[in-house]
A = this chain, B = another copy of it.
Amino acid sequence: MEDQVRWLTTQEQASWRAYLRGTRLIATALDEGLTRHGTRLTEYEILSMLSEAPDGRLRMSALAQLVVQSRSRLTHTATRLERLGWVQRHAVREDRRGVELSLTPAGRAKLEELAEVHVSDVRRILIDRLTPEEFEALGHAMTRVVDSIDVTEGDC
């Protein structure tokens, strides 16, 4: 077996710890902001993706990949959002297994309300605490990771 683990250097460990704690703090703070308006970040992401989709619609599985949720989880969440009247399911013509999701007018209105809250929270909690260069570097690093993982996983 691969018996020699390359442990983290002190430097690496510090970075990794900061990453872990930071992401948790940020997620918690953002969730809190949205919770006061009756949603969670994970639900917000779904609404947001739908609003930006070419046709205003997305297949369940495509959406699940975009927001990094299991199909099962998305099914449950979509049902909840549907009951709230924010999204709507549609059959897919070309593939009768498929289901597409779209925003309802009420969902779009809600999203607009939430977006204001969310964007100012993102600034207050993350962007404003860094210099533009630092935030840019953060974005760059995360982009590289995302692209690299997408290539690795997307080898279906």
Contact = CB atoms under 8 A, between A and B. Distances in A.
Nearest to A7: B119
A99 interface: no
Secondary structure class of chain A's binding surface, majority of residues: helix
- State which size class the interface on A falls in: 35 or more
Interface string A56-86: 0000000000111000000000000000000
Contacts of A127: 12, 16
B129 A15 contact: no
Copies in the complex: 2
Interface string A84-121: 00000000000000000000000000000001100110
A5 B142 contact: no
Contacts of A2: 120
Top 6 A-B pairs ranked by shortest CB distance? A15-B139, A24-B68, A22-B142, A137-B137, A138-B141, A18-B142
Interface of A: 2, 5-8, 11-12, 14-16, 18-29, 45, 66-68, 115-116, 119-120, 122-123, 125-127, 129-130, 134-146, 148-149
